[in-house]
Structure 1
């Protein structure tokens, strides 16, 4: 823009010519700000959106596998055949059959022991051992009665009786130990008969 008087170049923001001081027509006076007017401040930022109550889990959360593993079986498998809930095992019943003749007879007529070959074998052998002991003692009594007139024969039968007692006790003890281990321990003569009866079901 030029001054109309001196034709000097005047800036568009100037009201008067900087060269001659005359007013410049067409110059737009720059708006002056009222010193008492407070400076306008930009609008305050809007407060952040209130967070939703609670924690929102991520969308892609881990999903457990559909097919769960089967629960482990409780307890250990029984060692040897059991007679049922709270019953005796096969080896225990076989060993108990030698405690007098009564358990042996019971095991031969009561389920499920009468179907167990090991229990049947030791039950028959226990009965056979008891019968053999009775037969031997009856034979000794008869023989002692017949030979009572021989001097000192009573002392001889006394020592023989003690020896037979020890022999029968050892056989009885061996049968219990072998039966508790599940073995088919056969006594002479009696064992073969007991095995044949145990397998004949």
Structure 2
């Protein structure tokens, strides 16, 4: 029979929104919690939903799965909003010749915002995978609140 020992603690040096969880032992009858937590982020909401539905007991894994779903939903919402703004800029571009300069500048700005969101999303994705695998629970401000309600 396998056992899992878990120690929960909050770092004195960490921010008040960060809660750290460390897993000391693994189970023989399945993947360890750190691996499952990290896997919940790999394909965004897809693996988040799968892990969330499969794992019923481990709150560490369920939180990471729920946070994966929430982060993915937020990034998807931002992408939709940027697409709507991009469509509006394109419509302004074709509306008349006087709007060409404004539409060009807005299009450039929108491209830079899109790039920044993509880079932040990628860095956040890698950070969350690594930190979950290390056994910690980083709390992304809006997503963690949504994840807390789901767990």
Does TM, normalized by the shorter one, top 0.5?
A: yes
Are 1:89 and 2:32 an aligned pair? yes
Structure 1 Cα separation of the partners of residues 148 and 26 of structure 2? 19
Which protein has greater RCO, CA pairs closer than 8 Å, 6+ apart? 2
1:131 aligned partner: 73
Q: Could you say what secondary structure the match of 2:141 adopts?
A: coil
Structure number with greater Rg is 1
2:51 aligned partner: 107
Structure 2 Cα separation of the partners of residues 115 and 142 of structure 1? 40
Post-superposition Cα deviations, 1:157-185, rounded to whole Å, max 9, x if no partner, equal 11111111011111111111110111111
1:151 aligned partner: 103
Give 1 or 2: higher strand fraction.
2
Contact 1:104/1:124 (8 A) holds in 2? yes
1:164 aligned partner: 117
Structure 1 Cα separation of the partners of residues 47 and 83 of structure 2? 28
Runs of 5+ unmatched residues, structure 2: 6-22, 93-101
Give the alignment partner of residue 135 of structure 2, picking from 177, 182, 188: 182
* TM-score (structure 2 length as normaliser): 0.70
Structure 2 Cα separation of the partners of residues 188 and 174 of structure 1? 15
Q: Which aligned segments of 4 or more residues in structure 1 are displaced greater than 6 angstroms?
A: none
User: Which stretch of the first structure deviates more once superposed, 99-108 or 185-194?
Assistant: 99-108
* TM-score (structure 1 length as normaliser): 0.54
Alignment coverage as a number of residue pairs: 118
